[in-house]
Amino acid sequence: MKLSRLVTFRSFHYLKPFMRLQSVTFCRKKHNLSSKDDEVMCPMKLSTLFVPGRYGADMYQIVRPVISVDDISQNLPSIRKSCLLRGINIDLENIVDLLQQLESERSEFKSFVEKDHQYIEELKHLHSVNDESRLNSLKKEHEEFINKLKSAKEKLHDTEELVLPMVKKIPNLIHFLTPLKSDITEEYSPRPTCQNFVSASHVEICKQTSLLKFSQNTAKTYYLKGALSELELAIQTYFCNKLKESGYGAMSCVDFCKSFLLEAVGQDPFSVVQAIPIEKKVERGQMLHLVGGASLEAFCAYLTNMNISKAGLPMRYFSIGRRYNAANCQRTSFDLFTVVQSSNIHCLTLCKDGHSEDEEFESFFQFIFSCYNDFKIPFRVVNCSPRNLNATESRHKQLEIWSPAKQMYLSVAHVSGRGDFVSKRLHSTYGVEHNVEGYCHMVEGVAVNIPVLIGCIVENFQKPNQAFHFPNELEFLQRLIED
């Protein structure tokens, strides 16, 4: 079959080259699982990540986020600044007071538990020596103590239920290179100011040339045909080759994850515009969500409770595959810019500290910058302000390319710095074998959103008669699929 006859069905199938995963040492830590096996419905307001002890038996809790009162107290001015710039309203002083109270109550409860063990051992001993008098006396004393133990436990659970929802709202710190007031935008390869014909949209062009077809039933399903299927394969090959040359290893990730992973990266698993649940039935408090293998959530599914070999840092990975955008589920537009399921290439770098993170951030940004220079399409770079950051991001830069039909720039790639914020939520650590030395710093981003890039290529290289052929300016892509 000739390549020009290939049809790509985007709803269930995508092209995914088989690439070798570079070697890496992982040490799996012991999971903290709940003891109850039956399925329960989790209250909508209950976090699936910051779980109060009262709901521990009902929630499938895989990991407990690191909550350090000392870290919060020491960084109080920076956290307050981050909240103010992001528009988050929380009482930090009250949170610190409650966390200190929580630590005190945990310590008190722990001492009660230890004393309870002592009672049990003493009761066993008295039973073994048949000392009925002392045994009965100690049983009564133990029963009174159990009431105190239960009271201490309830007190601890009350404080947890009060403070954990507040702690969940604390955002990451703002990176010093993040613009504080508003986004900073820089344009490159200025867009053309005039042309001899009216620009048509990629949908109009592809409809006339039969290169793109959307399902009659839904805008979520589409087909790429002929030159567009060739173009998709060429784009995938181009970015995969470039990433491997830059030291990134390919990784195959899962398409779905549990609710706590969405929360860990700053998404709301109960929001219809941020999550796509694939099971209405909740499994011990955790839903399954479609995220796609080319996503940060999918990477984090592997990294949860992992201790990574320190010798291998920084570790650079990329995943090519699906990416699901819940915000597009309700849209009825038929174009490649607003599809629910897109083919993406997502990258993740794990670093040892903030200095290494800054270096990797700039390195990845320069990588995508140089790539889009090759495509000869006007683009701009947006350095996002705190108001436009995810709660777990410390900085974010995105690259946007020009759509002549829409007369606007569209996001096609980005790079994000997360520090060790997400790693502390998921216990993604580094060290030597099972010895933990620190929490991984993360740099992640999208190298390419392929449908957006294809749509903009069609629009920017269209002919006056609304025809589209593989552009001479992108001959380097044509050579990739001919080799």
Annotated binding site for L-serine: 323
In single-letter form, the type of residue at position 218 comes to T
Q: What burial letters (b/e) apply to 452-474, b meaning 16+ CB within 10 Å? A: bbbbbbbbbbbeeebebebbeeb
Q: Are 481 and 237 in contact (CB under 8 A)?
A: yes
Measure the CA–CA gap between 171 and 203, rounded to whole angstroms.
Answer: 40
Cite the beta strand spans of 376-464 per DSSP E. Answer: 379-383, 395-403, 408-419, 429-432, 435-439, 441-449
Token output for 13: 């199938």
Measure the CA–CA gap between 242 and 321, rounded to whole angstroms.
Answer: 17
DSSP-assigned letter for residue 151: H
Polymer length in residues for the chain: 483
Task: Give Cβ neighbours of residue 262 (< 8 Å, ≥ 6 apart).
Answer: 268, 269, 274, 275, 289, 291, 297
Q: What burial letters (b/e) apply to 69-85, b meaning 16+ CB within 10 Å? A: beebeebeeebeebbeb
Q: Which residues are annotated as a binding site?
A: 323
> Is the torsion defined by CA of 372, 373, 374, 379 positive or negative?
positive
**Burial (CB count <10 Å: 0-12, 13-18, 19+), residue 342:** buried
Residue whose structure tokens are 């062009």: 205
